[in-house]
Amino acid sequence: MFLYTAACLAAPLSAGLAATDANPLLVESSLPYHLPPFDQIRDEHYAPAFAATMAAQLKEVDAIVADPEKPSFENTVVALDRSGLLFNRLYALFSNLAAANTNPALQKIEEDIAPKIAAHNDTIYLNGRLFQRFKSLHDRRDSLGLDAESKWLLDRYYLDFVRGGANLSEADKTRLKALNAEIASTQTTFTQHVQKERNADALVVDTREELDGLSESEIAGAAEEAKVQGQPGKFALTLLNTTGQPPLSSLTNRDVRERLMQASLARGSHGGPFDNRAVVSRLAKLRAERAVLLGYANHAAYQLEDQTAKNVATVNQLLAQLAIPAFANARHEADNMQTLVDRGGGKFAVGAADWAFYSEKVRQAMYAFDESQLKPYFEMNHVLLDGVFYAAHQLYGISFKERHDLPVYQPDVRVFEVFDADGSPLALFLVDYYARPSKRGGAWMNEYISQATLLGSKPVVANHLNIPKPPAGQPTLLTFDEVRTAFHEFGHALHGMFSHVKYPRFSGTNVPRDFVEYPSQVNEMWAVWPEVLKHYAKHYQTGEPMPVELLNKMLETQKFDQGHDTSELVAANVIDQGWHQLKPAEVPDDVVAFESALLKKAGADYPPVPPRYRSTYFSHSFSGDYSAGYYSYFWSEVLDADSVEWIKAHGGLTRANGDRFRSTLLSRGGSKDALMLFRDFTGGDPDIAPLIKRRGLDQPPPVLK
């Protein structure tokens, strides 16, 4: 656990840390917003910088402990919140680049540094004298005259110490340190296995004919990928992080579809250097042992205590409420697809490899709508500038100016300066949308620099997607899912850019994990808001807006296939919770058998709809950040759907609504209880009914005639 997750560059160098021009990580960046000098950073800079910045932070902690003055909020809590600024900056920078643009050298550093960072944080949180200073303040917190944010900071740090093992015996602290170090190393191993196998296990086919159904640019991209992999003349389909793969919706060759699905499902579980089965089992056991050592029933109970859901029972109830209608609707959806297969003379039952292909045909039959018709209207630059940025301008008054004078870590990365409604500088925003072998799968937001009035720092945030890059000269046309993802991730970016808190501990997205997706999911609503959609959905060749009839058909299909989409997420959650609700002695060695048993017991073992992630490539769960927390997407969507209904009822895309969302929630970061922030915005408690209705789970889907 880190003191806070984002970087802070606007403060003086840490005490005892010698600055040197030879290592740009040990000097203050002179770039606007203190953007890291990407063009100066080399791989060999990281290891010595980590050693120096961690040592400097420990000196700062020693100074807090040795202070002869009576513990006060300023000399203890604020002092700790200020400490390790360069270390936190470095960690944010390194972890971001290790995910977005890795290489063997960074991967080796990642392996080496993970246990050292775990040990570094243990040294702080298991420091008995430091804890006693916090405990003395916490015991008299009501008499310290603190404002609400300061009192909340004291409470959060005290809980961090307790959850970090501060109350353990010395023997148990020693064991905890060993567990934390091994957990960190094992998570790193899992992460690297997933990324390396994703690149190594591309499906290679011999002929162009086998890729029938793909676009010319997709086929050209597959040919180029095969060349990169040393197989010129062939075609390689790379794998995304999820079980489902985009080409499955278009490939007409069923054998190729099945091979692609099997390649995806088998990742990490078929032997070889990247097999993750033993890694998963070991990691689950380590986490369970740590939880028990800290006094919790299991890892899930430990994780959930500090979330808005609070306990295992609440999460299990949420999943149960969704599972029954979701899988029931998924079976109805499969019946519709089977009808089409049978009509076409197919002699097979619809399986996982067929779902995307035939669901698209059902969509066409029911709505005369082919989702591929949308792509010409979703050119990437228009989506970003005229969609994502336009909606933000309408809601919040902010504006954007692209900067070509600032360094980036990869040529495809773009930098925008963001200005507030009054014209004042607000933030820097980095856009990294294209997929590449050096980049992990999925989509995410991160912060290089976090906002904090205590430090005088403004945010530098980034969005990352994995959009296949077309051949040179070809436009980048997005699927609607990719469009929605762009709006989603920008919702996270707004959370970081609008942060207006005093303490770095609370900046931006430093909120409970099951709350962090909520604002970003709210931002997805603007992707299909008529005024916004009409502004960006224009044909990339003619500039003509999307026809009204096509727009209406797209909106009509928003609930289409939601049985499948909800079911694959429920199944993944069952896996995540199943592994992490075990005691150490209950953790099995046979990962595949255990996963199958979990799904069967939960009624989520429906082969045509496999989990969105299986255990062996479930990065959310086993790379650390979302362990026992993948439910957060559902939990946040409950809050999101409720908030969307509020926004619609109060006028939709207006500055008044944007300003209210910003002032009551986006600007507050983690400076207040998360559910209180939700109530401040909506005026009430969350209700699951809008989510059930939004996903169309309140009734069976239409039957194909």
pLDDT at residue 5 is higher than 60 = no
* pLDDT 10s digits, 493-528: 999 999 999 999 999 999 999 999 999 999 999 999
In angstroms, the first-to-last Cα distance of the chain is 55
* pLDDT 10s digits, 188-200: 999 999 988 877 8
Place of tokens 């060749």: 541
What pLDDT is recorded for position 548?
A: 86
The mean pLDDT value for 518-541 works out to 96
pLDDT at residue 154 is higher than 90 = yes
* pLDDT 10s digits, 356-403: 999 999 998 998 888 888 999 999 999 999 999 999 999 999 999 999
The mean pLDDT value for 536-542 works out to 96
Number of Cβ atoms within 10 Å of the Cβ of 235: 25
* pLDDT 10s digits, 415-429: 999 999 999 999 999
Per the prediction, the chain carries an average pLDDT of 93
The enclosing H or E element of 514 equals helix 513-523
Q: How far is CA 24 from CA 37, 45, 46, 52, 56, in A?
A: 7, 8, 10, 13, 16
DSSP string, 299-343: HHHHHHHTSSS-SHHHHHHHHHHHHHHHHHHHHHHHHHHHHHHHH
| Catalytic annotation present for 489 | yes
Residue 3 phi/psi, 5-degree rounding, is: -60, -40
What pLDDT is recorded for position 655?
A: 98
Whether the Cβ atoms of residue 307 and residue 200 lie closer than 8 Å to each other: no
What pLDDT is recorded for position 1?
A: 29
3-state DSSP call for residue 205?
strand
Domain 277-369+561-630 -> CATH class: mainly alpha
What pLDDT is recorded for position 198?
A: 78
Single out the residue of 544, 545, 539, 546 nearest to residue 475, CA to CA: 539
The mean pLDDT value for 672-679 works out to 95
DSSP class of 78: I
Q: How confident is the model at residue 654 (pLDDT cuts 50, 70, 90)?
A: very high
What pLDDT is recorded for position 624?
A: 73
Catalytic residue among 60, 182, 447, 489: 489
pTM of the model: 0.84
* Structure tokens that stand for 66 in this block: 């040795």
DSSP string, 627-677: TTTTTHHHHHHHHHHHHHHHHHHTTSS-HHHHHHHHHHTGGGTTSS-HHHH
pLDDT at residue 15 is higher than 50 = no
| CATH number of the 24-167 domain | 1.20.1050.40
For the chain, the domains span: 24-167, 201-265, 277-369+561-630
Whether the Cβ atoms of residue 365 and residue 467 lie closer than 8 Å to each other: no
Q: Which positions ≥6 away from 207 have C-beta within 8 Å?
A: 235
* Interior/surface letters 482-516, b for 16+ CB within 10 angstroms, e for the rest: bbbbbbbbbbbbbbbbbbbbbbbbbbbbbbbbbbb
pLDDT at residue 442 is higher than 90 = no
* pLDDT 10s digits, 206-252: 999 999 999 998 999 999 999 998 999 999 999 988 999 999 999 99
What pLDDT is recorded for position 549?
A: 87
